C-alpha cells in the first residue's frame, strides 16, 4: 500500500492559527529537584488542576536563561495509569496552546492534575482556567 500523494498546490503546508506541535520556547521539566523547587514557589488552584510558578535564579540554566520550562504531574490519587496519562495529555495540550503567548521568560511552570476533574472537565474550561491562573500568578488579576 502506498501513501496518498501530497497536494501540489501546498494546501497542507499552509500556516494556520494554531501553535506548532513543538514549541521552541518550552522545555519539559524531568528532574525531581526542579519539581521540588517549584512546589515551594507561588501557586494557584483551579477546579481542574493546580499551577505552580517560580522564577529561576540567575545562572541556574546558563544554556538558555530565557527558556520557559514546564512540568506535568498526576499522583495515583488521580486514578489508574490510563486516567493519569489522559489527565497529563490534556494538561500538555493546555500548556502548548497557552504558554507560548502568556508565559514569562526564565520561569518554570508545573501543572498538577486533580482527581475526578482534570480528565473530566470540558477542554475549553481547562483553557480558560489556565489563562486565569496565569493572570493571577503574574499579578495581573486577583
Instruction: Evaluate whether residue 90 is within a structural domain.
Output: yes
Looking at the structure of the chain, the number of domains it has is 1
Q: Would residue 46 count as lying in a domain?
A: yes
**36 belongs to a structural domain:** yes
pLDDT at 91: 95
17 domain residue, yes or no? no
3 belongs to a structural domain: no
Average pLDDT rounded to a whole number, residues 48-74: 89
What pTM value is reported for the model? 0.80
Query: Is 1 part of any domain?
Result: no
Q: Is the pLDDT of residue 87 over 60?
A: yes
In this predicted structure, the answer to whether residue 12 has a pLDDT above a threshold of 60 is: no
Range of the structural domain that residue 95 is part of? 26-137
Instruction: Classify residue 132: in a domain, yes or no.
Output: yes
On whether residue 8 sits in a domain, the answer given is no
Q: What is the pLDDT of residue 20?
A: 56
Look over the chain and give the mean of its residue pLDDT values, rounded to a whole number.
Answer: 86
What CATH number should be reported for the domain holding residue 34? 3.30.230.10
pLDDT score of 21: 54
| pLDDT tens digits along 92-117 | 999 999 999 999 998 999 999 999 89
pLDDT tier, 7 (very low <50, low <70, confident <90, very high otherwise)? low
Beta-bridge partners for 52: 43, 110
Query: To the nearest whole percent, how much of the chain has pLDDT over 90?
Result: 65
Amino acid at each position: 500500500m502506498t501513501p496518498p500523494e501530497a497536494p501540489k498546490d501546498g494546501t497542507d503546508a499552509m500556516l494556520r492559527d494554531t501553535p506548532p506541535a513543538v514549541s521552541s520556547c518550552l522545555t519539559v521539566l524531568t528532574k525531581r529537584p526542579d519539581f521540588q523547587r517549584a512546589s515551594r514557589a507561588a501557586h494557584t488552584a483551579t477546579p481542574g488542576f493546580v499551577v505552580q510558578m517560580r522564577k529561576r535564579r540567575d545562572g541556574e540554566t546558563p544554556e538558555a536563561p530565557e527558556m520557559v520550562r514546564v512540568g506535568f504531574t498526576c499522583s495515583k490519587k488521580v486514578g489508574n495509569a490510563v486516567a493519569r496519562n489522559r489527565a497529563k495529555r490534556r494538561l500538555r495540550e493546555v500548556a502548548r496552546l497557552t504558554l507560548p503567548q502568556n508565559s514569562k521568560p526564565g520561569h518554570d511552570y508545573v501543572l498538577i492534575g486533580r482527581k475526578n476533574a482534570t480528565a473530566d472537565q470540558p477542554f475549553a474550561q481547562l483553557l480558560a482556567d489556565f489563562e486565569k491562573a496565569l493572570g493571577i500568578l503574574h499579578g495581573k488579576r486577583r
